[in-house]
Chains A and B, each alone.
Chain A
Amino acid sequence: MCTLEKRGDFFILTLTGENDDHRLSPTLIAAVLSALREARSQATRGSVLITTSQGKFFSNGFDLGWARSAATPSDAFLRLHQMVESFRPIVAELISLPMPTVAVVQGHAAAAGFGLALSHDYVFMRSDRGVLYMSEVDLGLPFPDYFSVLFRAKLGSIAARRDVLLRGTKVRGAEAVKLGIVDGAYDGEEKVKGAGMQLAEKLASRKWNGEIYKEIRKSLYPELCAILGLEVDKPALSKL
């Protein structure tokens, strides 16, 4: 499912299973959410979260197979809706996590899996393998409201938004950097994980106050906070 490991300043959240496409099923969603809350509860100055997976996939999105295996079409729809609604707090948790967050996308990230990556402050992917893909248009699945808002918040380029969301373009590393979707693309799993750790070290060394960091991050994404029901607090002015 997933593990949360503490290595010095770092919280490393790993979706486990080499041959797994890390579908965001209700169980995995619950496990990721509780891992994030655990990290939050142990946060100190200089903490950093790194999220990655094992194998060919970062995450292939919601568990549509589970949804489809429901007794009736309307039950299938309810299952999908359940996953959509339980993923919402994960995005909210990441947007309000009191520490910098880095997604190391070592494999394919599709649909909610792509959304999971984008919910991080920094995203690295591989240049040699793996695509980012919003499959919804090809699957005929409308976006949950907060998905459009997340993508508009995180993708500055209007053409990139259209290509990713409306055209279902499968974006590889170099293109993702060019479109401003990711912060870097690296050749091979070792290199991308190395880059993630290196960045995390740099961020940790700044020893930021996590509460301040989180409020500044939230202020970057007011529309996203609103749709997630995250209040933008006025932090204690103890430093002034």
Chain B
Amino acid sequence: MCTLEKRGNLFILTLTGDSDDDHRLNPALLATILSSLREAKSQATRGAVLITTSQGKFFSNGFDLGWAQSAGSRPESAKRLHQMVQSFQPIVAELISLPMPTIAVVQGHAAAAGFALALCHDYVLMRSDKGVLYMSEVDLGLPLPEYFGVLFRAKVGSVSARRDVLLGGMKIRGAEAVRLGIVDGVHEGEEEVKEAGMRLGEELGNRKWDGGVYGEMRKGLYPELCGVLGLEVGKPVLPTL
């Protein structure tokens, strides 16, 4: 499922499982991720940083479509998919308002909601040697939840990159992802990308930022996304002068 570990200033959220586990965002995993994020938030101090990663070939392969399809009927399948879409939204909200910097270490494939999960983070690192980012919805004939579109437009600046990713269903490897401005860096190998994530985490942690102020500043960067997530922007935070 997932674990939340504290290592010094760093909160490390890991989607766990054997190397073939594709970390499908089913209701149980969604609930565990959400409660882990809330736990990290409750323990946040100056200099705290969140690092999210997974084990194995996949970062996350998106919603558990298998579980949705195994419902009795088409309407029931649609309801299950809708349930997952609804339960992922608070995770996005939690990440966009988290009172600490966030880093996604994408050590494997990230597809659909899994790709969205990565994009919710302030910094995204992936591997250059393995793994793709892929918005599979267009190929699967699945509509994009409204907040997904807003998230992608908020986080991916290039108009042609948005088209290639969302409309073109492109499978994007590390080097291309950097070129398109989707990720911040690539590293060769799982160890390397995880170490790079830890180094970045330490660097950001050493700045000892006030998490409350940081979270409000981050929300200020994404007003449309906050709007669609129901997040209040511009709550007065008392500065320490």
Contact = CB atoms under 8 A, between A and B. Distances in A.
A139 B207 CA distance: 10
Interface stretch (A21-29, A99-107, A155-163): A155-163
A171 to B, nearest CB: 16
A76 interface: yes
Interface of A is mostly: helix
Nearest to B184: A159
Interface string A134-168: 00111111110100100010001111011001111
Nearest to A161: B221
A20 B101 CA distance: 35
B237 interface: yes
B181 A142 contact: no
Interface in A70-90: 73, 76-77, 80
Contact of B157 (A64, A80, A145, A156): A156
B217 A165 contact: yes
Contacts of B221: 148, 152, 161-162, 165-166
B239 interface: yes
A162 B157 contact: no
Contacts of B209: 137-138, 140
B214 interface: yes
Given A158-B157, A158-B181, A145 B234 contact: yes
Interface string B207-241: 10110011011101101000000000010111111
Interface residues of B, number: 27
B241 A80 contact: yes
Interface in A164-185: 165-168
Contacts of B237: 142
A137 B239 contact: no
B96 to A, nearest CB: 12
Interface of A: 64, 67-68, 73, 76-77, 80, 136-143, 145, 148, 152, 156-159, 161-162, 165-168
Given A140-B213, A141-B239, A145-B234, 16 more contacts: A68-B241, A77-B239, A77-B241, A136-B217, A138-B209, A141-B241, A142-B216, A142-B237, A142-B239, A143-B216, A143-B217, A145-B220, A159-B157, A159-B181, A162-B221, A165-B220
